[in-house]
Amino acid sequence: MRSASSILRSQPRLSRADYVVFGGIAVLLLANLTGLVFQGNGFNPLVHGWLAVLSRWAAVALVWLAVNRVRLTRPDILLAAAAVTALAVGDTAYRLLPDDGTGATPSLSDTGYLLFYVFMVGVLVVIAHRSLRAQAWPVLLNSALGALGATSVLAVLLSPPLETAPGTPFSGPAFLSTAFPVLDLLLIAALGGIAAIPGRVRGRSGLMLAAGLLLFATADTVYARQLHVDSELIGSALDGAWAIGFALITAWVLASVRRDDLPGRSARSAACDGTAYGATSVTAPLAATAAGLAVLLLASQTHVPVLAVGLAGATLALAAIPLAFRQRHLHSLSRTDELTGLRNRRALAVDVATRLRAVDARPSALLVLDLDRFKEVNDSLGHEAGDLLLEQIGARLAGALQSGDLLARLGGDEFAVHLHHADRKRATAMARRLRLVTARPLVIDGLSLEIGLSIGIALAPEHGSDLSGLMRKADMAMYAAKSSRVGQHVYSPGDDSNDKARLRTLHELRVALAENQLLLHYQPKVHLPTGTVPGVEALVRWNHPTRGLLYPAAFLDVADNGGLMRALTRAVLELALDQAVLWQAQGRTVTVAVNLSSRSLADYQLAGIVITMLADRGLPGSALMLEVTEEFLLVDHDRARNILLRLRKAGVMIAVDDFGTGYSSLAYLRDLPIDELKLDQSFVIPMLDDERASALVASSIHLGHSLGLRIVAEGVETAEVLDQLARFDCDVAQGYHLSRPIPAAELERWLDARTAVPAGMRAIR
């Protein structure tokens, strides 16, 4: 089985080429719309023909590029791509292929148009299904209300075509005037139902989809009502409405792939405090009820289709469910986490406070639980996968607790458990049990994940008698468990000072990044056969104003957990490349190596940032080497390959740091563009006294050479180890025997002194 980090895949992102195509689509669409405005009615081969068709097929190409990025993991995107393609086929046939004059239907254009609506109905069904998953029945009721209210209004608007029966099952325009409105009814029903679901399909991408479909429905309604008056509507404003609607739907597909507001993200966002059942859950049912009532009032004054009357009556019937009964469910929802069905933060606060205030209150325990590396899973697999993971984790935690224990989701990937009548022994035993049940592999999107759990424990009344105090101390204990990687930790008074020190360090590190307090020391890497120095490794230091020079161990974990790792990595890259520019001006050809953390590598913008930094300084790619962890290459193979290939194309060199300490595999050595393997010092240091360590070093060197890789031995602390490495044909050595990490000016003096030494003696200095 693999850990959570071992299955991370890259989040789909649009490339620069995609944006070029998207820009081309925008130009074609603008030209098409401009032509429609000035041309007016009547068919123009350029405006209504080639420009319209080219813009459709350019959009099709871009949409299928997006599908390729999500593969088959997003059925809504796949169906949308099929819909866009079907519409492009229909438009091409209608605008460019001559009519055979037989009047037989469905023609190729009719089929394409109808399939567009069928596929788009499928898109909305997929979204509605995801949105309604795990919802309470009042939400389903409100969704049905929204759907019925919306379709009752549209049925009134579509009364002429709906009441005019075609002469034959497929009789050209008559058939389309009925089929399109019926499919529009289905689209509007789905949109109305989704709109009534709290917190779903919102944001700019959701609005683009809704606006695009509403434009299509509006244009179809006008088309259907006027077809019997003017059978040739091409060239009218309807063309513009359809074109804009098509562009909005295409933009929705691209935004759903590029941005984080995927189906499921809204669930996560809405469920953070369990109170998402708010404005939309009240407004949409009220609007639907008003629409149904308006249709019935209209029916009392004039002729209204039977279908519209029936839909309006059904809307009011559903709305007639007693309000008090609905209010009880509304109150229940306000205490329930929407995503997992567990208590939310509000419910936990009320229930635990009641327990703690009870006259016969006995000792109890509050546990705060945080998933390890959940953000990496969420960022890489997508928010929908993250939501599925949280649902499964919530179910496992609930199944492990005993009667009387309270479980709540606080928000994000944090849970809390209140153990009634629990002492320290029971609390620690339950923490171990919860860690065990969550450690079992989870299957998400066909991938096996193992999720770690960090748990902080606070005891009542020992550590406090109110929820806020217990929560604060349990949270501090949880952070101590996470930072020390022990899994669980019971609060102790020392955690207060540690927590304050962590927060102070985090604040000071933000200031340090803003005020350029970071600096680099450089450790030379000596080429053993020649004694030359082809490169150096840059190691970050913090010139703290009061604590002096701090080494990475004092602040890297704080930066990682505090969300500053990406900013710190970029600062280090800037310092290293600025120094490379100075050395280049001095005539020193030295490659600077920079270590990258897994979190930094998860930044999809990293490759572009590195390439831009090099270009801005006029440096070749070979001036920089990036040292990545073996684990990252193994656990995120697709992302690693994409990043490394892009960097390699720019000339940047890649080294695998700490080789042999992770989950070793030969596959990535074959598949990925790697220049250098760095043998971990845990093998190099004991190699003279440990035959197995020596054998591992020798075999690793041989393996690397057989694959055309350069081998670097870290941790060289004695001349004897250096000699042994030379006998093993190791390429490069690095360690305290050669030089400690030193400031740039001191390194320059070291390099100058080294050039004065005969070549045969350099390797042993």
pLDDT digits (tens, 9 = 90+) for 174-187: 555 556 666 766 67
Cis peptide before 106, with omega less than 30 degrees from 0?
yes
Give the tokens for residue 259. Answer: 């941005």
Helix (H, G, I), strand (E, B) or coil at 298: helix
Give the tokens for residue 709. Answer: 């890789």
pLDDT tens digit sequence for 327-354: 555 555 567 787 788 888 888 888 888 8
Percent of all residues in the chain with a pLDDT value above 70, rounded to a whole number = 67
The predicted structure's pLDDT at residue 141: 63
Helix ranges, 368-518 (H): 374-381, 383-400, 424-439, 467-484, 494-514
Run of H or E including 410: strand 406-411
In this structure, the number of other CB atoms found within 10 A of the CB of residue 467 comes to 21
The answer to whether the predicted template modeling score (pTM) of the entire model surpasses 0.85 is no
pLDDT tens digit sequence for 251-299: 787 777 654 333 333 333 333 333 344 444 556 667 777 777 887 887 7
Q: Is the pLDDT of residue 11 over 50?
A: no
* 550, β-bridge pairs: 542
The residues, any chain, with a CB within 8 Å of residue 686's CB and separated by 6 or more, are: 693
* 449, β-bridge pairs: 442
Write out 220-240 in H/E/C secondary structure: HHHHHHHCCCCCCCCCCHHHH
Nearest-angstrom CA–CA distance, 253 and 70: 11
Sign of CA pseudo-dihedral 684, 687, 689, 695? positive
Q: Which residue has the higher pLDDT, 272 or 301?
A: 301
The residues, any chain, with a CB within 8 Å of residue 65's CB and separated by 6 or more, are: 14, 18, 21
Helix (H, G, I), strand (E, B) or coil at 655: strand
CB 37 within 8 A of CB 87: no
DSSP state of 625: E
Q: Which residue has the higher pLDDT, 546 or 71?
A: 546
pLDDT tens digit sequence for 59-88: 788 778 777 766 566 787 888 888 888 888
The residues, any chain, with a CB within 8 Å of residue 88's CB and separated by 6 or more, are: 53, 56, 57, 59, 60, 112
The predicted structure's pLDDT at residue 626: 93
CB 139 within 8 A of CB 198: yes
Nearest-angstrom CA–CA distance, 507 and 517: 13
pLDDT tens digit sequence for 433-475: 999 988 888 877 666 777 888 999 999 988 888 888 898 888 8
For 6-43, b/e burial (b = at least 16 CB within 10 A) is: bbbbbbbebeeebeebbebbeebbebbbebbeeeeeee
The predicted structure's pLDDT at residue 713: 92
Phi-psi region at 372: left, alpha or beta (left = phi > 0; alpha = psi -120 to 50) = beta
> CA triplet 513, 515, 520: central angle to 5 degrees?
60
Nearest-angstrom CA–CA distance, 22 and 24: 5
Count of residues for the chain?
765
Give the tokens for residue 583. Answer: 């050395």
pLDDT tens digit sequence for 601-650: 666 678 889 999 999 999 999 999 999 876 666 555 666 777 888 888 89
The predicted structure's pLDDT at residue 636: 57
Judged on CB neighbours under 10 Å (0-12, 13-18, 19+), 516 is exposed
- 714 vs 131, 174, 299, 628, 677, CA distance in Å? 53, 79, 85, 15, 10
pLDDT tens digit sequence for 649-679: 899 999 988 776 654 556 667 777 889 989 8
The predicted structure's pLDDT at residue 356: 86
Written as one string, the DSSP assignment of 710-750 is: EEEE----SHHHHHHHHHTT--EE-STTT---B-HHHHHHH
Percent of all residues in the chain with a pLDDT value above 90, rounded to a whole number = 22
Give the tokens for residue 82. Answer: 């099929």
Q: Which residue has the higher pLDDT, 509 or 123?
A: 509
Judged on CB neighbours under 10 Å (0-12, 13-18, 19+), 760 is exposed
Q: Which of 649, 574, 661 is nearest to 609 (CA)?
A: 574
CB 312 within 8 A of CB 292: yes
Nearest-angstrom CA–CA distance, 338 and 634: 35
pLDDT tens digit sequence for 351-402: 888 888 875 678 899 999 998 877 767 666 667 778 888 888 999 999 899 8
Cis peptide before 181, with omega less than 30 degrees from 0?
no
Q: Which residue has the higher pLDDT, 90 or 622?
A: 622
Nearest-angstrom CA–CA distance, 225 and 177: 8
Helix (H, G, I), strand (E, B) or coil at 472: helix
Q: Is the pLDDT of residue 711 over 90?
A: yes
The residues, any chain, with a CB within 8 Å of residue 190's CB and separated by 6 or more, are: 121, 124, 125, 127, 128, 147
Nearest-angstrom CA–CA distance, 340 and 388: 9
Region 737-762 average pLDDT: 80
Nearest-angstrom CA–CA distance, 402 and 379: 34
pLDDT tens digit sequence for 556-598: 878 877 778 888 999 999 999 999 999 999 999 899 999 987 6
